[in-house]
Chain A
Amino acid sequence: ETGVTQTPRHLVMGMTNKKSLKCEQHLGHNAMYWYKQSAKKPLELMFVYNFKEQTENNSVPSRFSPECPNSSHLFLHLHTLQPEDSALYLCASSQVGSSYEQYFGPGTRLTVT
């Protein structure tokens, strides 16, 4: 269960705050993903990074800004969020071109007040 780690596990922030979510994978994978999980949309893909290049941005508002400095680390920078952005944010990694199995992190439970 330590292949993909996420910090923090819980985050409460006001609408004017700026915070960042961090994800790290120790599996040697070449792709990383951000998902938003809420009651309305159980597993909503936000961003895909394949070999550190962003290959997918699923119409995500600009208040979410991803960063992938290398194939092992992925960040999600948050600013001026809305209460409806409260959700569980899951990071995942996979080996594109090989098994494609996605390994998920434990998630960050975000509450926007």
Chain B
Amino acid sequence: GENVEQHPSTLSVQEGDSAVIKCTYSDSASNYFPWYKQELGKRPQLIIDIRSNVGEKKDQRIAVTLNKTAKHFSLHITETQPEDSAVYFCALLNTDKLIFGTGTRLQVFP
């Protein structure tokens, strides 16, 4: 079945630095790629998503890029803040269900 690889599994950055998380996939039919954030003790929540008809989408300090040819998409967080510390999951849509990556634990140190 479809598989999503996510890297890195952990990421530590200094406050104010940028963070990049990358996911690769194999099914070229996927056309919807969301990112979820799960803070400690809370439920995962959608933070940004992108559809295959665009290459980049930005929402304030977060952006997602998609390269359909190379089958990878990335989450970019600029000017990181301590409240960005969480586990981030990439996902893709596969026949009406989401396939999630293995998660990246981001720690932002003040």
Contacts and interface: CB of A to CB of B under 8 A. Distances in A.
Contacts of B99: 45
Interface stretch (B12-20, B43-51, B57-65, B70-78): B43-51
A45 B97 contact: yes
DSSP majority for the B interface? strand
Nearest to A6: B43
Contacts of A56: 97
DSSP majority for the A interface? loop
Interface in A80-113: 90, 96-97, 100-102, 104-107
A101 B97 CA distance: 10
A31 interface: yes
Interface in B13-36: 32, 34, 36
Contacts of A54: none
Nearest to A43: B100
Interface of A: 31, 33, 41-43, 45, 48, 50, 55-56, 90, 96-97, 100-102, 104-107
